[in-house]
Amino acid sequence: MIIFLNYLKMRLNPLKFISLAILLSLLVLKKEEHLSTWITGVLFIFISLFVFRCLDDAGSVYFDRKNHPDRTYLNPENYRQFLIITGFMIGVYWLFLRIFLLSQKSSKSCPNQF
C-alpha cells in the first residue's frame, strides 16, 4: 500500500486531472442535463484519466526505469506489487464503467422520472 501512496504523491496531480476532466466534460455538455449528470461525467472522466495514467506507467516500465530512476514503484522489487494494484484498479474501473453505462442507459429509457 505504501507503493501506491508514493505513486499517488508522485504521479497524480489532482488539480490538473480535475481541470482536464471538467474541460473534457464541457465538450459534451448539453443544456438539458441535470447538474448531477454532469458531475457524474466529470468523476467518470477523472477516474478514466487516472486509470489510463496507471496503465501507461505500467506499460512503459523499461523506458521509465532508465529515464526516471526516482520512480521507485518501478523498481524490480516493487513492480510486481504495482502491477497487482494496477490490475485491481482496472477491475474496479471496469465494474464502475459497467454501472455507469447501465445507469446512463436506464436514465435514457425513462427520461421523465423526475
Q: How far apart are CA 37 and CA 41, in angstroms?
A: 6
**1-58: per-residue pLDDT in tens?**
788 888 888 888 888 989 999 999 888 877 777 888 888 888 889 989 999 999 999 8
CA 49 from centroid of its chain's CA atoms: 4
- What pTM was estimated for this model as a whole? 0.75
- Amino acid in the structure at residue 78: N
Q: How far apart are CA 87 and CA 85, in angstroms?
A: 5
Q: How far apart are CA 68 and CA 90, in angstroms?
A: 24
**70-91: per-residue pLDDT in tens?**
888 888 898 999 999 999 999 9
